[in-house]
Amino acid sequence: MAHDPALRRHLDARLSVLKRQRQSWEPGWRELSRFVNPRRGQFFTSPNQGGRGAQANAAILDPTALFALRTLVAGLMSGVTSPARPWFRLSIPDRRVASLAPVKVWLDECAERMRMVFNAGNLYSALPSMYEELGQFGTGCAIVEFDREDVIRLYTLSTGEYWLGLDWRGRVDTLARRFMYSYRQIEERWPGHGIAEIAERARGDEADTEIAILHMIEPNTGFEKGRLDSAGKKFRSVYWREGGGQAEGEFIHCGGYSQFPALTPRWSPIGNDAYSKGPGHDALPDVKSLQILKKREHNAVDKHVNPPMGAHVSLRGSASSVLPGAINYFTTQERGAGMWPLYQTAPGAIAEVERLVARTQATIKSAFFADLFLMLSDMEGVQPRNQLEISARREEKMQMLGPVLENLHDDLLQPLVQRTFTIMAENGLFTKPPSELHGYPLDVELISILAQAQKAADLGTVERLWAFAGSIAATRPEVLDKLNADESIDVYADKLGAPAAITLADDVVAEGRAARALQAQAAQALQMAGAVAKGAKTLSETEVGGGRNALQTVLGV
């Protein structure tokens, strides 16, 4: 068990600051959790809480926002990180070195091994949870840990159970969280924690009793390069019991990371905010309005088909019914006394409410980009459309996700790939890299469906340029000397996201062309030698008189 009272006071003080900075975000998050998806967002949780599985969607009368959020999650999953196709590739900033054959082969091999790790672990079950948090609350969070069985494992967090801090560049470098663990879970995860009370309860009847655990990952101010223990890690990781052992500075576990292990994508960060607003915040006013409209729509329909009734005073206390097929009995004196609706609603009023509901639903779907991802099914007019129109509409709408894709690349996908690469490299899961790579940082490039849609305009530029040059080349062939065919192929393959194995490296192409040039020279020399031999034979067979032939005359013999 680690004891460090000074560190404990520092962690408690910093956690208090992070909590104050998050307070202004919490009311909006609770409303999003209440009206969009109550399963997301962890607020006011306590150990051994018995009502975690209770229904919490009483405020939702129209689930349009929830269904639109699901469409957004499915669209991001299939369009950005689809497990069915490659969505990233590895490279280095120096294009000349990156185009060398050994470098391309090694980077492709590493990327393929990483895809195998992603498929074997829980990445593709964790990413939808992160996208859901991102779309609903504007911020997602997960911790990437080394796993002895799957190499990496993602532990996703829900809004409300963590706090974030930024460095001077506006990047998240601090994560604090609060979660529940039973005594048995603590003992299994950190068997050497050294806290006698926890170890004793983990072996007794209270083994499954939960306690609140606090965890903070932050830059290690006491970092010492070359150290093999936690002091040699750039980021410090500390676990401790909430409210327990404060005076003694008692910790359950102290460790560290060589790089920040948390993924904290933000939809559209502004200024120095550690959190971000997203589609859920944009849609929230309409989502709340929709619940009111839906209630009024139900009331209008109820009043139309089952209006409040008026009855003659003589019917008071007698059996009466307005159900279909019911019989009401009247005396002769009460003939004409009966029941009637107090008022009739106009069907047009119901239709107007329905139109307002439909417009509000459409606005909510647009806020969650559901109309973008369902573009083909929502197209108006005759189906199917021609491919040109579909491509044009897709390119136009995909431009709307440009800023979001950039944020996902910087805050989620690139850190995920780099973190996985580091873990695999530290555990010897890659072959020895070529010497040309020494000193170059790793670069991650997205080649997903949405990323390629963003680059589609560049492909059209290349195609139009070559088409224009081809039309001129019909009369002026020398114009093709202005175009670099090799570079055009490389650019086109890059924009398409084609596998690197399809295009040959520049050095391999140069070697192949040099070999063909030598073969051509040899063939030309052989052809010339054949022509010379044939000419010599002809001269030798040509008599010039005096018993001499033309060849002897030419050679002077």
Neighbours of 278 (CB within 10 A): 25
Both tokens of 92, joined, read: 């280095």
- Residues 444 and 88: beta-carbon distance below 8 Å: yes
Look up the pTM and report it. 0.79
- The three-state DSSP-derived secondary structure of 322-385 is CCCCCCCCCCCCCCCCCEEECCCCCHHHHHHHHHHHHHHHHHHHHHCCHHHHCCCCCCCCCCCC
Write out the residue range of the structural domain in which residue 527 sits: 506-555
Domain-located, residue 234: no
Q: How many domains does the chain have?
A: 1
pLDDT for 159? 94
pLDDT for 346? 73
List pLDDT tens digits, range 202-260: 888 889 999 999 999 999 988 888 787 778 889 999 999 987 655 566 889 999 999 99
DSSP single-letter state for residue 399: G
The residue behind tokens 């980021």 is 235
Both tokens of 10, joined, read: 């520092």
The pairing of strands 548-549 and 543-545 is antiparallel
pLDDT for 469? 73
Bin 441: left if φ > 0, else alpha if -120 < ψ < 50, else beta.
beta
Domain-located, residue 524: yes
Both tokens of 393, joined, read: 């509409």
CA distances from 114 to 102, 123, 319, 444 (A): 18, 11, 77, 12
Domain-located, residue 550: yes
Neighbours of 330 (CB within 10 A): 15
pLDDT for 50? 67
* Stretch (H or E) spanning 82: none
- Residues 406 and 414: beta-carbon distance below 8 Å: no
Domain-located, residue 512: yes
Domain-located, residue 541: yes
pLDDT for 458? 64
- Residues 233 and 258: beta-carbon distance below 8 Å: yes
Domain-located, residue 240: no
Query: For 74-128, where are the E strands, in sequence order?
Result: 88-91
Domain-located, residue 527: yes
Domain-located, residue 34: no
CA distances from 236 to 43, 97, 133, 255, 487 (A): 26, 36, 26, 6, 46
pLDDT for 126? 95
Distance (Å, whole) CA 261 – CA 256: 10
Question: Is the alpha carbon torsion for 77, 413, 158, 63 positive or negative?
Answer: negative
Phi and psi at 341, nearest 5°, equal -65, 140
DSSP labels, 163-179 = EEEE-TTS-EEEEEEEE
Q: Which residues of the chain have pLDDT under 50?
A: 1, 376-377, 382
